[in-house]
Structure 1
């Protein structure tokens, strides 16, 4: 199973209740990695099955529907080969 990374931004009205937003996101299927309180963001991931198309850009509908979520954006990981690696 592959992981899909997410960056969730909490709206200003819910910053004081960010723990409640975290609880709702976990119920919606997000595995929370970090809560960045000073930024108003929550990072986490979901598991996806091989062969299932994932949403890499845009918001997951279940995360966007959580009260207090301003945006839910899919994040991508990039890997750069070391300088001594062969050119591919």
Structure 2
């Protein structure tokens, strides 16, 4: 992470279907996420997933949790229609 941060002006790390992080039994990624947020200010984290409620609950701040989402922006995208999906795949 340090090397990535030092070699880029602005970096992005993406986690697709990130709600899976909440389901892992033996590792809690929230400490690592907090470390990245606090230490590498030129790195942005993007979490995507089809189960928004589970993802937000995992990352959401509350009095008894770390404050992971203090700078979060939630963007909700609508589902594609079948026609839109087919058209995208044709391109």
Q: Would you tell me which structure has more helix in proportion to its own residues?
A: 2
TM-score, structure 2 as length reference: 0.25
More strand as a share of residues: 1
TM-score (norm. length: structure 1): 0.25
